[in-house]
Each structure stands twice: as C-alpha cells, then as structure tokens.
Amino acid sequence: MAEYSALQVIRNALGGNEHWKPLWRKPDPKPAYNVIIVGGGGHGLATAYYLASEHGIANVAVLEKGWLGSGNIGRNTTIVRSNYLLPENAAFYEHSMKMWETLSHELNYNVMFSQRGIINLFHTPAQEDEAARRGNAMLLNGVDARFVRPEELGKRMPALDLAGSSRLPVLGGLEQPRAGTARHDAVAWGYARAADRRGVDIIENCEVTGFIRDGTRVTGVNTTRGDIYARKIGVAVAGSTSRVLAMAGIDALPIESHVLQAFVTESVKPCLDCVVTYGGGHLYISQSDKGGLVFGGDIDGYNSYAQRGNLPIVEDVMSEVVELFPAFAKLRLLRSWGGVMDMSMDGSPIITAGPLPGMYLNAGWCYGGFKATPASGFCFAHTIATDEPHPLNAAFSLDRFYRGYVLDEKGQGATPWKH
C-alpha cells in the first residue's frame, strides 16, 4: 500500500479520487493466532499496532463486534491532555501526550492533533488553591502548566462571561498549553491502517460470545464467525468489560458502566480557540475544525450499557454552557451521542495480566480513554508480549483494589459515578 504524500493527493485528485486503496483488508478469521485482541476501538487497534511494530508479533487478530469506530472511539469529545496530579497518572498521560505529538508522522496518517491548550476555570479561592496545587504537581512531574488571569481570558474568549450575570465569577484558570484535541475517527483509521500493513487481521462484525478454556487457562474465543484460538487474549472493550468478562466467569470487577453523553452544535465562525472546563459544574467545551461546538459533562447516574442517555443530563450540560457563554444560547444543537464508560472505583485505569491465565485486561478508563490511546496501546502491547507490565502501567494493576493501593486521583473514594 502506497504511503500518503502530496504527490498521491494530487494524483488522485486529478483522477477523480477513484484510485485510493482501502485502508485495511477485510480478512476472514484464521483458526488460530498468537494474540487475539477483543475490541476494535482505539486501545485495541493501538495495542495490535505496537505488538507488531515494537515486539514483532504480527500474527494478531483484532475482533470488533460492529464496524470500526462504532464504539467509544467514535463517541467522545476528542480532548487530549496530561494535567494529572498523582505521579503514576502524570507519568503515564504525559508519555501519551508525547506520543500524540509525533503520532501523525509515525502512522503516516493525519490524526489532526491540534495543541490549542486546555484551561480549567476556577471560581473560588479554594478552587484557586487546588488549581495551584495541581499546577505545581504538574510542573514537578515535567508537565507544562501556567495560571491564566481574567484579563487574558477575556481577550482569548470574548464570549466568556467573566463576572456580569454569572453566579460564579471567573477568578482565573489553570492552563496546559500543550493539550488540545484530535480527530477521533482518524485515530482509529490511522492505527487500523498501520496495523494492517504489518500483517494484523482486523475482523469486523465478529462479536465474541464466549471464551474457550483449558482448565483455568483461556485458549480461545467463541464468536459469531466461528471459534478462534490464541495463546494470549487481550480484552479492551471499555464499557462492555463487565459483560464480556462475565462470559469467562469473572463476575466481580471494580468497574461500573455508565453512559456519558456528548453534543455538537451547528457550525459557526471561530470563537473558541482552546478547550475550556467549568469549575462550577462539570462541563468541557471546545470548537471543532468544522466550526461546531463540542461539549459534554457528567455521566448519567445509573448503570447502563446503552449508547444513549437521558434528558436531565442534557438540561444540566446546556445550562452550564449558557452560564459560561450566554451568546451560545442562540446556537442550534446538531446532534448528540452516548458512549459507555468503564468507571473504575478509584478513577484510574487497569492495564494488567489476568484475571485468568492467558487473558490480559485493559479497562477502567473513566473519562480518560481517548487521550490515553497511544500510551495505553503501547503499555498493553508490552504487557501482553513480555508478561510483565511496562514501568508506566505497573501501578495500574487489578490487585491494587485488594491491596488497598488505589490511585484516587480526585480523592473521592469508591464513587465511580463521580470520577
């Protein structure tokens, strides 16, 4: 398959764009592989790519129950950041940030990573103190951070209501300038193309219906396209983790599945050149390259595997948008969607071997799944290939919940619906 280049773009433009080759093959599943990855989202595709590119393991199948991009990888608000407090999370997400910065070049596919910055607003002296604590921790961990005062905020975001009618005046914000957004489906397509070129089989419309076991060891999967065997099986299915692992007899996991809704408005002229979060509620908002405002907020409070949410969260998120940016009340909502979040009990991910021999687990991403895609795939591939965690994911074990060594990023305890 030819590399992408300016010459290829010109050549195909002159030829009516009829000569582009498919990004990946549509193979039938083989009877057996060295590794099976259950889940064809960003994490599963990235894992397969790094298994092939970093560890020379190309006899890999990625099994996706629907079409590529039909899960959470196509249902998020595209934010990439590494503004974490705890050292374990800061190191992991900063490594992911550095991978994002070179990802388009590595994959030879434009993932449209835009480092426009993220600003977390604060509205009270107590929130300002907490922002200072987080910012100092970021700087100590080698992550970029700076305070932004209302004067600068007003110049950068004229539509922001700094004081006027707001019940919570904006006192400032903590910015990570290197943060930004990326095109979610382009990330999936880029990893799929790169993995396919290295011999990985990406098998769509292939739902796993059970696990094949030899004693306690997992040796294969039952699927809607037949039984497939493998020496190692990685599970990276986000909000479906509990449901999929129940097929292997694993019924007790420190994970709850909740719906997270996202929204996008009609396109308007550029008016918001960074990602902004609201300190008086739970709102994150940015403007896409197409001009639409992309935003979201809290998860729905009840457990669900549905890719749709309910009206109270819609009303809550809309009210917060209008409170911060009153002028946005005039915009029409274009569409909304829901992703199923695998909320862990401490708000931090799980990348580990187990919980059964021959099985490897990638889960518990809460709100952090999309931005973690490169580092997650890199670390999960290392764990599968070597049967040892990478130093970056050594703390993200499953047994930390039994040992009591949790990574409680927000200090909220075992309340996954709040993470």
Q: Which residue has the tokens 């990574």?
A: 407
> Which positions ≥6 away from 100 have C-beta within 8 Å?
80, 111, 113, 182, 371, 374
Question: Which CATH number do you get for residue 57?
Answer: 3.50.50.60
Q: What is the arrangement of strands in the sheet containing 333-344, beginning at the earlier edge strand?
A: 146-148, 172-176, 118-122, 275-278, 283-287, 292-303, 255-267, 333-344
CA 279 from chain center: how many Å? 22
Answer yes or no: are the C-beta atoms of 74 and 185 closer than 8 Å.
yes
**What domain count does the chain have?**
1
Q: What is the DSSP string of 252-299?
A: --SEEEEEEEEEEEEE-SS---SEEEETTTTEEEEE-TTSEEEEEEEE
DSSP-based three-state secondary structure for 33 = strand
pLDDT for residue 165: 63
Answer yes or no: are the C-beta atoms of 273 and 156 closer than 8 Å.
yes
pLDDT for residue 166: 65
Q: What pairs with residue 175 in β-bridges? A: 119, 146
Sign of the alpha-carbon torsion through 241, 247, 253, 257:
positive
Could you tell me the CA-to-CA distances from 243 to 44, 97, 237, 252, 385 in Å, in that order?
17, 31, 9, 11, 25
In a domain, 92, yes or no: no
In a domain, 1, yes or no: no
pLDDT for residue 1: 43
In a domain, 95, yes or no: no
In a domain, 94, yes or no: no
CA neighbours closer than 13 Å in the CB half-sphere of residue 122: 19
* 10-residue mean pLDDT series, the chain (419 residues): 75 86 93 98 97 97 94 90 96 98 95 97 95 96 96 95 80 97 95 96 97 96 98 96 94 92 95 94 94 94 85 93 94 92 93 96 93 98 98 96 88 72
In a domain, 148, yes or no: no
Q: Under the phi-then-psi rule, with left for phi > 0, alpha for psi from -120 to 50, and beta for the rest, what region is 142?
A: left
Answer yes or no: are the C-beta atoms of 161 and 323 closer than 8 Å.
yes
> Do β-strands 217-223 and 359-363 pair in parallel, antiparallel, or remain unpaired?
unpaired
Using CA atoms, how far apart are residues 400 and 376, in angstroms rounded to an integer? 18
In a domain, 383, yes or no: yes
In a domain, 169, yes or no: no
In a domain, 280, yes or no: no
Using CA atoms, how far apart are residues 219 and 204, in angstroms rounded to an integer? 21
> Which positions ≥6 away from 143 have C-beta within 8 Å?
82, 83, 84, 90, 94, 97, 176
CA 282 from chain center: how many Å? 18
* pTM > 0.85: yes or no: yes
Q: What is the signed CA dihedral for 381, 34, 193, 368, rounded to 10 degrees?
A: -30
Q: What is the phi/psi pair of residue 79, to 5°? A: -80, 135
Name the nearest CA neighbour of 45 among 27, 71, 75, 21.
Answer: 71
Residue 204 lies in domain: 27-78+184-255+346-418
